[in-house]
Structure formats: structure tokens, C-alpha cells
């Protein structure tokens, strides 16, 4: 990490962060990272914001979303369900 | 991806009831289209694969065994179709092995240290922020984007992703890490504007 006091260990740690936040990292490496994080504020921010990044995408993915009307129209036509769709819309 | 809350009756679907199938399409197609857009990167391809997905599902539904749940089953069909499309378009993208554990993605400068976790949920997930999140995924190199969508958006395991892409599990992990680090950096730059605005007030 540039502009950062303990550069070598920061960069070594970053390579394992993805597995660390997933809880998939070996216990020994986890402890090393946790130890490093105690004394390195910048790395704590990187870990927290990496977690947050994944969390934001997961949240967006879990939300319902509607198909654009024109895409829906063509999909039902392709599936030969368009008469049924018109019926559903009018009822 | 893990929600299996369809109100569609599977027995009716399996017997070929068109009304039930239309309901299934309406319940599930929005999310599938969004995923296809993210993985394929353009609207025309996403729409073509969406149509292909439901045509395949309609033909295969009598044999559906309900082991994985309807929602998961449909998403798997969509993902397989999307990957087939990518293989045709750019065969080298999916199965190339890029075992490069450290790259520029891991270079973090002081400007990339922005603690945006403390921002309110309303700002993190505003309409504008969501649009940025979508755009940021689109800027990822395709080989990273596919893995990110499969793992973090579709919720597939490392092994499932590796099998589907015919790459090693280690390669999936490396690509996922690079994708996440790039996105984190982009979000840091984006959300930093809220802190700058705050200072200016």
C-alpha cells in the first residue's frame, strides 16, 4: 500500500482479503490479518469497505425488479403467451 | 438468489398450464434480465438470452424435479445460456487461466481510503448510487465481471463457478478478489463526493 507505514505486510494481507471476508481463510492466516488490523487503521477501512461493497451488491440483487415493458411484450410474444398476457392485463 | 417464494403451482406448470407459466415469467423475469444484463453487458444479448431461457424452461418444465427450487433452476438455465453466448462471441474469455495473484488492483493509495461504511443507507442505496453500482460492474474486464456476477450476485459457490467456467477454483478466487477490489476502489471514489460536499457546507 502506498503512503502507508507498514507497506509489505499491508500488500501481503490484501491478497487474502476476499477469502478473509468470506470466512474461507485458514485460521492461521485469519489470525495474522486480525493482528495486523489492530494496528492499521487504513487496512481496517479497506476491509470494512470491501465487506460493504459486497453487501451493497447483494442487497441490490435480492430486490425485486420489473422487466421493462417493451422487453416483456416481446418475451410474451416469443413464448406465444401474448394473448394470455393481454387477458391478464385487462382482468 | 436464495429466495424461493414463487406462488406458482408446480403441478399446474408441469402439466403445461400456460397461465401458470405466464405467472412464473412475471415473477422471475425482472431479476433474470438484470443478471443477464450484468453478465453480458448489452441489452440486445440480454433480451435474446432471456427469451431463450424461458423457451428452454417451457420445454423442460415437465421434467423439472424440484430439487433446487424453480427460481434457482431458471437462473441456472439463464447462466448456462449466457455462458454459451460468451463462448461463441469470445471463446478465450471464459476458460483462460489468469493466475496473476497480485496486480495493480491491489495498489491502494491514500485517495482510495474512504470509509464510506458510515454513510446512511439512503445515500448508499439511492437511485443514483444504484445506477453507479450497475455501471461499475459493467466497467470490469469481462473475465472478472462474469465471476463476480456468478459468485456475488447469483450466489454460486466457488466450485460451481469453476465448473461452469472450466477454470480452477483458485482462478475463481483470484478473479473474484480482483473484481471486488476494483469495485471497492470505484465506490470509494464515488462515495468520497459525499464527504467533500459535507466539508464544503
Domain holding A45, by residue range, is 7-65
Q: Domain-by-domain residue ranges, chain B?
A: 10-89, 94-200
What is the C-alpha separation between B95 and B49, in angstroms, rounded? 20
- CB-based contacts of B95: which residues, under 8 Å, 6+ apart? B165, B166, B167
- Taking contacts as CB-CB distances below 8 angstroms, the residues of chain B near A10 are 108
| Window from A26-40, B4-18, B72-86 with minimum mean pLDDT | B4-18
> Is residue B148 within 8 Å of residue B180, measured between CB atoms?
yes
Task: Please tell me which of A6-10, A84-88, B121-125 the model is most confident about, judged by mean pLDDT.
Answer: B121-125
User: What residues of A are in contact with residue B54 (Cβ under 8 Å)?
Assistant: 75, 78-79
- Residue A61 within a domain: yes
What is the pLDDT of chain B when averaged over all its residues? 86
Look at chain A and report how many structural domains it folds into. 1
Domain B94-200 bears CATH identifier 1.10.10.10? yes
Q: What share of chain B is helix, strand, coil (3-state, %, to 5)?
A: 75, 0, 25
Contact A76 B25 (CB under 8 A): yes
The pLDDT value recorded for residue A2 is 47
Would you state the CATH architecture of domain B10-89?
A: Orthogonal Bundle (1.10)
8 A C-beta contact, residue B112 and residue B188: yes
Q: Kind and range of the H or E element at A30?
A: helix A27-38
Q: Tell whether A82 is covered by a domain.
A: no
CA distance to partner chain A, nearest, from residue B22 (Å):
7
Cβ separation B176–A66 shorter than 8 A: no
Closest Cα to residue B180, out of A62, A28, A47, A10?
A47
Percent of chain A with pLDDT over 70: 80
Say whether B192 sits in a helix, a strand or coil: helix
Amino acid at each position: 500500500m502506498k503512503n502507508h507505514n507498514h507497506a509489505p505486510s499491508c500488500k501481503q494481507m490484501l491478497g487474502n482479503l476476499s477469502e478473509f471476508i468470506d470466512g474461507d481463510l485458514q485460521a492461521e492466516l485469519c489470525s495474522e490479518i486480525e493482528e495486523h488490523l489492530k494496528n492499521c487503521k487504513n487496512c481496517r477501512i479497506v476491509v470494512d469497505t470491501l465487506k460493504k461493497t459486497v453487501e451493497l451488491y447483494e442487497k441490490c440483487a435480492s430486490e425485486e425488479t420489473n422487466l421493462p415493458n417493451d422487453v416483456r411484450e416481446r418475451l410474451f410474444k416469443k413464448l406465444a403467451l401474448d394473448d394470455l398476457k393481454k387477458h391478464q392485463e385487462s382482468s | 438468489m436464495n429466495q424461493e417464494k414463487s406462488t406458482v403451482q408446480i403441478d399446474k406448470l408441469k402439466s403445461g398450464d400456460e397461465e401458470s407459466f405466464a405467472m412464473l415469467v412475471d415473477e422471475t423475469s425482472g431479476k433474470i434480465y438484470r443478471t443477464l444484463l450484468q453478465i453480458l453487458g448489452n441489452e440486445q444479448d440480454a433480451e435474446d438470452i432471456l427469451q431463450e431461457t424461458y423457451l428452454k424452461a417451457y420445454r423442460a418444465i415437465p421434467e423439472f424435479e424440484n430439487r433446487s427450487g424453480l427460481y434457482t433452476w431458471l437462473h441456472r438455465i439463464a447462466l448456462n445460456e449466457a455462458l454459451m453466448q460468451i463462448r461463441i462471441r469470445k471463446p478465450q474469455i471464459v476458460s483462460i487461466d489468469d493466475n496473476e495473484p497480485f496486480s495493480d488492483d491491489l495498489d491502494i493509495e491514500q485517495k482510495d481510503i474512504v470509509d464510506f461504511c458510515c454513510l446512511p443507507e439512503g445515500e448508499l442505496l439511492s437511485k443514483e448510487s444504484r445506477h453507479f453500482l450497475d455501471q461499475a460492474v459493467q466497467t470490469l474486464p469481462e473475465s472478472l465481471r462474469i465471476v463476480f456476477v456468478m459468485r456475488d450476485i447469483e450466489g454460486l459457490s466457488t466450485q460451481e463457478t469453476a465448473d461452469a467456467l472450466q477454470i480452477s477454483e483458485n482462478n475463481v478466487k483470484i478473479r473474484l478478489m480482483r473484481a471486488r477490489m476494483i469495485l471497492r476502489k470505484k465506490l470509494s471514489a464515488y462515495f468520497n463526493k459525499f464527504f467533500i460536499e459535507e466539508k464544503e457546507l
